[in-house]
Amino acid sequence: MTGWRRLEVLTEPVIEGAIRISGISAIIFVFGIFFFVFREGAGFLFNHLDWREFLLSPEWYPTSVANKRYGILALIAGTGSVTVLAMLIAVPFGLGAAVFVSEFCGPRLKEIVKVVVELLAAIPSVVWGFIGLKVMNRLIIVLFDAPVGLTLLNGSIILALMSVPIIVSISEDALKAVPDSFREAAMAMGATRWQVVYRVLLPAAKNGLLAAVLLGVGRAVGETMAVLMATGHAVKIPTSLLDSVRTLTATIASELGESPVGSEHYQVLFVIGVLLFTITFTVNLTADLVVRGVRRS
């Protein structure tokens, strides 16, 4: 018995240390990744980068022989437009599904819907991209008489389908966290079920719902493979839903593999990586602060 106790006394600090390291490792990894991405791009970032051209010019000619131009305005516009449109589609669907699952449907149906939504999250992004390239392309050409189906619309629909599961599960959790006493009180006042949702639950869960939407945005900004295949990957500032676009992530994915290590092109791609990191970091931080707001209230 005492031997056992002694062993515990000895192993306890070791286990505690191991757990502490695993906890801290996440922080180390995040900073490590940021440091790495930043270091690879730093040479260009501080010495050669013309910020005005970089952010304000839509001309992306990284492999030109005579006149290299690194303008990412069209890529920012691509990422921005795909994300916004995807959210316009995904947020109503996601929130609607969450409200339905948590408030309106019976327990059996609820189980089915939840499992299917989780299944949606398990589909790999290349498969989504494939659907965009093969199925949606032809569908959009036929339905809209478009010259080509690899468009902003195509990418946004694919991206919306990919973000919906995140939005549904997080907002459903947020709705479930609203105490039943709120619902009961509203019912007792004679509110209809819709009034309960609209007047009581949505305001009470609004921080959680906002966090769900922001995490969906983070997913949409960061997604690469599916949008690479579905949007057409054309450097162009979109003027209609049926224009092809190109996103920041897709540009990195398609060009980094073949740009010579250490070249200007390589470094610019890492500067784009820093930009993306900053965007997703901001979005996630906002989501986190919002969720914290929920806990406090």
Residues lying near another protein in the complex (CB under 8 A) are found at 58-67, 74, 111, 114-115, 118, 122, 133, 137-138, 141, 145-150, 228-229, 232-236, 244, 246, 254-255, 257-261, 265
| Shortest distance, position 50 Cβ to another protein, whole Å | 18
Rank residues 74 and 213 by Cβ distance to another protein and give the closer one: 74
- Distance in angstroms (rounded) separating the CA atoms of residues 226 and 295: 35
Tell me the two tokens of residue 75: 């890529």
Tokens of 287: 């989501």
> Shortest Cβ distance from residue 103 to another protein (Å)?
16
Closest CB to another protein among residues 133, 204: 133
What's the min distance (Å) between Cβ of 229 and another protein? 8
Q: Least CB distance from residue 41 to another protein, whole Å?
A: 18
Q: What is each CA distance from 276 to 17, 168, 260, 262, in whole angstroms? A: 34, 25, 21, 20
String of b and e for 213-236 (b: at least 16 CB within 10 Å)? Answer: bbbbbbbbbbbbbbbbbbbbbebb
Report in angstroms how near the CB of residue 39 gets to another protein at its nearest: 19
Count CA atoms closer than 13 A to 154's CA, side-chain side. 34
Shortest distance in whole angstroms from residue 89 CB to another protein: 23
Give 75 or 197: the residue with its C-beta nearer to another protein: 75
Comparison of 147 and 179: residue with beta carbon closer to another protein: 147
How far is Cα 85 from Cα 166, in angstroms, rounded to an integer?
A: 17
Please, what is the minimum distance in Å from the beta carbon of residue 274 to another protein? Answer: 21
**For another protein, which is the closer residue by CB, 74 or 283?**
74
* Rounded Cα distance, 282 and 258, in Å: 30
Cα distances (Å, whole numbers) of residue 79 to 66, 73, 272: 28, 10, 12
**Between 187 and 225, CB nearer to another protein:** 225
- At position 64, the amino acid (one-letter code) is S
Distance CA 96, CA 90 (A): 10
Alpha-carbon Rg for the chain, nearest whole angstrom, is: 24
Which residue's structure tokens are 């032809």? Answer: 138
Task: Tell me if 178 sits within 8 A of 206, measured CB to CB.
Answer: no
Task: Show Cβ contacts of residue 99 under 8 Å, excluding neighbours closer than 6 positions.
Answer: 175, 197, 201
Nearer Cβ to another protein (57/286) = 57
Tell the smallest beta-carbon distance from residue 11 to another protein (Å).
29
Angle between helical axes of 2-47 and 264-296 (0-180°, round to 10): 130
Cβ atoms of residues 238 and 78 within 8 Å:
yes
Measured from the CB atom, the residue of 13 and 147 that comes closer to another protein is: 147
SS3 33: helix
